[in-house]
Structure 1
Amino acid sequence: CYTCLYSFCLKENCHHITQCQCPFLSCFRRRKAGILPSLEDLLFYSIAEGQERIPAHKFITALKATGLRTGDPRLKECMDMLKVTLKSTSDGVMLDRHLFKKCVQSNIVLLTQAFRKKFVIPDFQPFASHIDTLYEKARKLSGGLVADYIPQIAKFSPDLWAVSLCTVDGQRHTVGDTKVPFCLQSCVKPLKYAIAVHDHGTEYVHQFIGKEPSGLRFNKLFLNEDGKDYNHQLQHDCSLLLSENSNAEKFDYLMNFLKKMAGNEYVGFSNATFQSERESGDRNFAIGYYLKEKKCFPDGTDMTSVLDLYFQLCSIEVTCESASVMAATLANGGFCPITGERVLSPEAVRDTLSLMHSCGMYDFSGQFAFHVGLPAKSGVAGGILLVVPNVMGIMCWSPPLDKLGNSVRGIQFCTVCECSFLSFQVKSVINLLFAAYTGDLSALRRFALSSVDMEQRDYDSRTALHIAAAEGHTEVVRFLLEACKVNPGPKDRWGNTPIDEATHFGHHEVLALLQEYSGKHNPPVHADADKQSTEKHLDGMLET
């Protein structure tokens, strides 16, 4: 049964149920009639594991395990209906299939994608645990100094440390002081550049701004051979934003734009930081007058007004959580992952990520690009905005800075975390084999329902069937052979089959089962074709 994964006799016109106590006989009858269950039914059965009702908290726990949050704007209808439905039930806890369907039907496509592991990180919990481990390693670092030239930043404790991530599918994970507001500072520069390109296009913006890393300190008075700023990491691209409007209108526009990028999560403003920035901004004024002399601003620009707007933008507050959604919007081609709204044009995203990759980390940009290879932008408040294109956005924040002005803990985390983006899919193999090793039939059912390849192999070419046979887990072997239709005779790197494993360890019942299915197995024509047609049908249901 593709719904509950219990086994039925598949002989022609036979309705005898074998090895099955499945309460959902309608599932079988629908299957016999050639009708697949609805997406809502599939989701219910995958969570219920043979029960007629499920506790609401079990659904919420399973949902969080996919990386989605109950507060996700895309799940608002589902969560609202769940609250209303539970109030109307006798015990306020349990959901039967019909009540469950009523709750989830408005958001069934997103929920089905989550539970079928169709997200960019299919096995989210192991990945999140690995992020937590890397976070703890970086937390132990004690080097660096908190920036002291802005009093409001100098007040931050050097022990503050937070990491938050948001994938392009809206999966979220946070660890540490992720709800503490801090100012974006220079992390705002790629964001305002992206808005400028979105509004005016690349050609116009780059009449005034270059595209090259300078190799010099970020606050050097120096232009390229064309008489332009080397890249967008200085302040004068503020002059390109709504040039005909007042500073108040520009600031409101930019704040609203950033809130859209953050999925309407926290974006605030620190007036005290703004006042401090302006009072201690002599070098920025010097750079501004130098740029004005070299005609790096559009005609008619009020340089003092531009600097005020620049200081205001640097004083915009975020939390790690809201900033990670901003980064994820860049990773997602300009679409906010948690609202689905198109915020930035593809051109703006492309150019912003290119400049972040080459120029985003001050004098450390070359080394960061070499060792990490991902677009990023740091700021003197201790933030690092990291983008993994087509995968996720991350915000790291810890106030102590190294001598180049980058967060000590943030640099460490980004350097070691880069390997995780290459290896997170390997985790599904580990989880599958561990479930077979421990005899966890419930976990194996969830993997099968989530479209996991049940014949995946480890580095020794051993499958879940090898492991289950070696451990003598008869019901796991039966499930893999009957429900999942795996090949009963795969060979590992030493040429051993599951039959060899069962023989070697003296598991006679498992051996008999494997021998029975070895005689029946026909390499994968109708079984795989049936599974593929089911998968194709489900995918079609998701697309309509």
Structure 2
Amino acid sequence: MCLISLSSLPDKPHNPMVNAGAIVISSLIKPRSNKAEKFDYVMEYVKKMAGQEYVGFSNAMFQSEKETGDRNFAIGYYMKEKKCFPPGADMIDALDFYFQLCSIEVTCESGSIMAATLANGGICPITGELVLSAEAVRNTLSLMHSCGMYDFSGQMAFHVGLPAKSGVSGAILLVIPNVMGVMCWSPPLDRVGNSVRGIHFCQELVSLFNFHNYDNLRHFVQKRDPRRPDGDDRNKSVFNLMFAAYSGDVSALRRFALSSMDMDLKDYDSRTALHISAAEGHIDVVKFLTDTCKVDPFVEDRWGNLPVDDAMQFGHDEVVKVLKEYQQVCRQQETQHTEAEHSPKLDTIESMV
């Protein structure tokens, strides 16, 4: 799947979800660079989407694509005759690059992060890096929704109602906008090249949860809405958050943060996850809560102790240093914010600009 603006295509748009469009797009990526530079550029881009998780290359697949790519060569020559390639582009080089892109490997884990990046508006949920613009994500999801599943795309849009992209490896990349990304893999394919079990999973998912684009959230009562919190959710969240902080489980805390949990939740003693991790001396957890989650370091428990006080009490000097530096940063930011609020505002053209 190539992510590129359709406005840069010659003459008229080509569908990047099918071979012909993907081959043309291969000739448009960094047109004045050699194949090695082009491939490195795409690999780096894909790795950013995957949060630097595993993205590899299969040389065996690349050689197989070249040896059995007669149809793609025929498509390439036909498009060359119709002048579909930009001026100066070499059709054979574009095909070779296309075969390289077809040989990129991902795992279900890294593929799901790529899907989550699309679901998150182009921001990788693992690294927080803006990889794609919101407009590019919208265009990509529109293409995936309308033609990402080969000849099954219409039925997929009707029955599942979510953007997806399938591959002949048996993988299906499913995007639930503003919720999550899914990557499932099961090699048995149907007659149009889609994973049989993968499609069944997508249908079952939408039958249970109201993820279909046209499910009515108000009146579709027989479906569950995981985005709507239950009454006991807060107690469960507090327990899970505190236990993860006590155990030093950064992975669990990262999952909670990605699911929009309030990382400043307090227990019955008004203690936060930062209190717990500071008392236990879990420096990685403290850094994650301060650097990534930006929690409040000035919350007092019912005895009037700050997180830094707990770290000092139990002799965790490294944690004390991190918390004091973070407190200083928070004070500076608060001072700057206060000064900005009280600064005089001049109703002039210059101030507006």
TM-score by structure 1 length? 0.40
Q: In structure 2, what is the Cα distance between the partners aligned to 1:448 and 1:415?
A: 33
1:407 paired with 2:228, answer no
Deviation per CA, 1:385-419: give whole Å up to 9, x if none.
Answer: 11111111111111110001000110100111123
Q: In structure 2, what is the Cα distance between the partners aligned to 1:325 and 1:449?
A: 27
Counterpart residue number, 2:141: 353
Q: In structure 1, what is the Cα distance between the partners aligned to 2:32 and 2:105?
A: 26
1:380 paired with 2:168, answer yes
1:239 paired with 2:43, answer no
Deviation of 1:348 after TM superposition, in Å, equals 1.2
Q: Relative to structure 2, which stretch is displaced further, 203-212 or 243-252?
A: 203-212
Match of 2:92 among 293, 304, 312: 304
Deviation per CA, 1:313-343: give whole Å up to 9, x if none.
Answer: 1100110000110111111111101000011
Structure 2 spans left out of the alignment, 5+ residues: 211-223, 241-329, 335-353
Q: In structure 2, what is the Cα distance between the partners aligned to 1:317 and 1:447?
A: 36
One-letter amino acid of the structure 2 residue matched with residue 203 of structure 1: S
Deviation of 1:427 after TM superposition, in Å, equals 7.9
Match of 2:8 among 201, 204, 222: 204
Identity of aligned residues (%): 62
- Quick check: 1:331–1:392 contact (8 Å CA) kept in 2? yes
Q: In structure 2, what is the Cα distance between the partners aligned to 1:448 and 1:385?
A: 32
RMSD: 2.9
Deviation per CA, 1:195-229: give whole Å up to 9, x if none.
Answer: x32xxxx422374424699xxxx66xxxxxxxxx6
- Quick check: 1:208–1:297 contact (8 Å CA) kept in 2? no
Structure 1 spans left out of the alignment, 5+ residues: 1-188, 220-228, 433-442, 451-540
Residues 163-242 of structure 1 mapped to structure 2, 5 A cutoff: 189=1, 192=2, 194=3, 196-197=4-5, 202-205=6-9, 207-210=11-14, 232=21, 234-242=22-30
Counterpart residue number, 1:425: 226
One-letter amino acid of the structure 1 residue matched with residue 92 of structure 2: T
- Quick check: 1:324–1:395 contact (8 Å CA) kept in 2? yes
- Quick check: 2:188–2:195 contact (8 Å CA) kept in 1? yes
Residues 81-480 of structure 1 mapped to structure 2, 5 A cutoff: 189=1, 192=2, 194=3, 196-197=4-5, 202-205=6-9, 207-210=11-14, 232=21, 234-422=22-210, 423-425=224-226, 428-429=229-230, 432=232, 445-446=235-236
Counterpart residue number, 1:122: none
One-letter amino acid of the structure 2 residue matched with residue 425 of structure 1: P
Between the two proteins, the alignment pairs up a number of residues equal to: 233
- Quick check: 1:292–1:303 contact (8 Å CA) kept in 2? yes
Helix, strand or coil for the counterpart of 2:226? helix
Helix, strand or coil for the counterpart of 2:105? strand
Deviation of 1:424 after TM superposition, in Å, equals 3.9
Counterpart residue number, 1:510: none
Q: In structure 2, what is the Cα distance between the partners aligned to 1:378 and 1:283?
A: 20
- Quick check: 1:209–1:237 contact (8 Å CA) kept in 2? no
Helix, strand or coil for the counterpart of 2:191? coil
Helix, strand or coil for the counterpart of 2:184? strand
Deviation per CA, 1:214-268: give whole Å up to 9, x if none.
Answer: xxxx66xxxxxxxxx6xx4x42211110011001100000001100000000000
- Quick check: 1:212–1:358 contact (8 Å CA) kept in 2? no
One-letter amino acid of the structure 1 residue matched with residue 130 of structure 2: R
Q: In structure 2, what is the Cα distance between the partners aligned to 1:337 and 1:390?
A: 11
- Quick check: 2:151–2:192 contact (8 Å CA) kept in 1? yes
Q: In structure 2, what is the Cα distance between the partners aligned to 1:447 and 1:283?
A: 54
Deviation of 1:300 after TM superposition, in Å, equals 1.1
Counterpart residue number, 1:60: none
One-letter amino acid of the structure 2 residue matched with residue 279 of structure 1: E
Deviation of 1:448 after TM superposition, in Å, equals 7.6
Greater relative CO, 1 or 2 (CA 8 Å, sep 6+) = 1
Q: In structure 2, what is the Cα distance between the partners aligned to 1:251 and 1:444?
A: 47
| Bigger CA radius of gyration | 1
CA 1:211–1:282 in 2, change beyond 3 Å: closer, same or farther? closer
Counterpart residue number, 1:509: none
- Quick check: 2:171–2:185 contact (8 Å CA) kept in 1? yes
One-letter amino acid of the structure 2 residue matched with residue 353 of structure 1: L
Helix, strand or coil for the counterpart of 1:404? coil
Deviation per CA, 1:289-317: give whole Å up to 9, x if none.
Answer: 00111111101110000011111111001
Helix, strand or coil for the counterpart of 1:425? coil
